[in-house]
């Protein structure tokens, strides 16, 4: 049991059609604290059959939810937002205990996640259409936007709260209903959100959450069901490609927020101290387990040594440990498999001649905490350049010219986030336009915000979450031609 002020938030059943229920088989999934390895709960291990039930429930609920006025949907979403903020401490505790990130970061995620609910509570009232000048004297043309229908959302473990609210809020605001499959590693945060949604007054079937240890079969059930009209996925590019192929058979609307390999460029005219601060924030947040974190750092040759030395000093100040303790900056990686991959990436660099300036090994504090690591003298053929590391490892590459670093930065199939520091305004424009990424941070390492469109290009996916653009993926555009207007 997780210690909570609001004990109703600790849920160990799934939420389908307004009811808390177990799986048909009675099978359960164990949920562990990655730092202490303690069992913190069990949740139902549902399968394709229960997923189909949830989809049918969502479809039935859609028939009435879509007819709610925008103001009615807005009021319920607003209440959901308020409940999340009222319970921020408990939601953050749940998140840290099942995911491992420091409590301060967890609270930041709750605020960030709730901000999407607040934003789209207002955007529900702004799904505008158009009146277009007719093509004939007796013709009038109108355009309206209608909710697409049942949305299937699949969310990851690294942001188990915000990745749900970022998808669910615009869907519900538009008038859609939702079936969510959270990660089996972090299901408790999702179920706590469902409890608050019930308290906020969502009609039964509007929001459904199923947990499973058999993601492929549940994913197949979502992508193959005729009543699912849209699939929204955040996760690896490998899995995203599988889901895309499955969705093609029924031509579903799809949003994909996939892998990243973000460059972080520091030009010789940059504020070095600010660049170091930005690199720390971008690279080491959530122990490097974010899709938009800096993956490859490039420093121009004139300031390379100064930047690396200052970065090393800042990295050594990071505090490692239990995310529930005050002052901790780096918690555990999510599971042993994740740690093994980080070790593999660093060993590949070390074996091929790179220098491990700091870190480079598992911490003595905890066997799932990897020490914050800086790698120098790395080359572009190493895993630290090619792979999405998803851990607290920062390779720093030296470059000479602007054109060279743009070419290096773009030398990846991914195109999610990118960052650079510099003061020359002309170069800022050139580099911003030259980087093949959906998002560019200029003199900042933190770019995620409710009011801006989040998403990538190339093999990082398509579709946008947040901002005024975020609701567009959940509506159909209908054109109506009026004839005989004499």
Catalytic site residues?
Answer: 257, 291
Q: How far apart are CA 1 and CA 98, in angstroms?
A: 12
CA distances to 7, 86, 109, 181, 189 from 91, in Å: 11, 10, 10, 18, 7
Please give the backbone phi and psi of residue 155, each rounded to the nearest 5 degrees, phi first. -120, 155
Q: How far apart are CA 142 and CA 135, in angstroms?
A: 12
Place of tokens 């199923």: 210
Which residues, in sequence order, are CB contacts of 108 under 8 Å at separation 6+?
A: none
CA distances to 179, 306, 450 from 54, in Å: 7, 56, 29
Q: How far apart are CA 314 and CA 329, in angstroms?
A: 12
User: Do 294 and 264 contact (CB within 8 A), yes or no?
Assistant: yes
Place of tokens 């188990």: 160
- Report residue 94 as tokens: 């749940």
What three-state secondary structure class fits 268? coil
Closest CA to 333 of 33, 100, 163, 155: 100
- Report residue 448 as tokens: 């995620």
> For residue 401, how far is the Cα from the chain centroid?
33
Please give the backbone phi and psi of residue 119, each rounded to the nearest 5 degrees, phi first. -60, -50
Q: How far apart are CA 477 and CA 390, in angstroms?
A: 38
- Report residue 67 as tokens: 């007819």
What three-state secondary structure class fits 29? strand
Q: How far apart are CA 290 and CA 315, in angstroms?
A: 18
Q: Give me the DSSP letters along 44-59.
A: E---HHHHHHHHHHHH
Angle at 360 between CA 107 and CA 38, to 5 degrees: 45
DSSP state for residue 203 in the 8-state scheme: P
């Amino acid at each position: 049991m997780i210690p909570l002020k609001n004990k109703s938030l600790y849920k160990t059943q799934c939420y389908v059609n307004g009811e808390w229920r177990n799986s048909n088989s009675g099978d359960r999934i164990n949920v562990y604290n990655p730092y202490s390895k303690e069992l913190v709960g069990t949740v139902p291990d549902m399968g394709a059959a229960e997923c189909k039930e949830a989809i049918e429930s969502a479809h039935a609920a859609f028939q009435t939810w879509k007819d709610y006025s925008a103001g009615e949907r807005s009021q319920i979403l607003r209440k959901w937002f308020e409940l999340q903020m009222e319970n921020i401490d408990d939601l953050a505790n749940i998140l840290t205990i099942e995911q491992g990130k420091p409590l301060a970061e967890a609270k930041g995620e709750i605020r960030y996640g709730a901000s999407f609910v607040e934003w789209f509570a207002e955007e529900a009232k702004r799904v505008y259409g158009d009146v277009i000048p007719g093509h004939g004297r007796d013709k009038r043309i109108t355009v309206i936007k209608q909710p697409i229908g049942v949305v299937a959302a699949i969310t990851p473990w690294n942001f188990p709260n915000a990745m749900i609210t970022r998808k669910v809020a615009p869907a519900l605001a538009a008038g859609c209903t939702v079936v969510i499959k959270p990660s089996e590693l972090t299901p408790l945060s999702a179920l706590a959100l469902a409890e608050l949604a019930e308290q906020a007054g969502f009609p039964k079937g509007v929001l459904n959450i199923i947990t499973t240890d058999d993601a492929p079969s549940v994913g197949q059930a979502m992508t193959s069901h005729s009543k699912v009209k849209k699939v929204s996925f955040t996760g690896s590019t490998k899995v995203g490609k599988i889901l895309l192929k499955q969705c093609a058979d029924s031509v579903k609307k799809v949003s994909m927020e996939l892998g990243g390999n973000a460059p972080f460029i520091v030009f010789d005219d940059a504020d070095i101290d600010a660049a170091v601060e930005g690199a720390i924030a971008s690279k080491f947040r959530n122990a490097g387990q974010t899709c938009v974190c800096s993956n490859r750092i490039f420093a121009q040759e004139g300031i390379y040594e100064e930047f690396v030395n200052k970065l090393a000093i800042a990295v050594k100040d990071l505090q490692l440990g239990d995310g529930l303790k005050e002052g901790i900056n780096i918690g555990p990686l999510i599971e042993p498999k994740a740690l093994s991959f980080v070790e593999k990436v660093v060993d590949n660099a070390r074996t091929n001649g790179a220098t491990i300036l700091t870190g480079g090994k598992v911490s003595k504090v905890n066997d799932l905490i990897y020490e914050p690591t800086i790698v120098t003298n790395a080359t572009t053929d190493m895993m630290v350049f090619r792979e999405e590391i998803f851990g607290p490892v920062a390779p720093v590459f030296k470059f000479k010219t602007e054109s060279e670093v743009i070419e290096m930065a773009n030398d990846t199939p991914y195109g999610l986030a990118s960052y650079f520091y510099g003061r020359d305004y002309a170069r800022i424009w050139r580099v911003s336009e030259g980087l093949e990424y959906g998002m560019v941070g200029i003199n900042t390492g933190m770019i995620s915000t409710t009011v801006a469109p989040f998403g990538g290009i190339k093999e990082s996916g398509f579709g946008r979450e947040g901002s005024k653009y975020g609701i567009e993926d959940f509506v159909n555009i209908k054109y109506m031609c009026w004839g005989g207007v004499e």
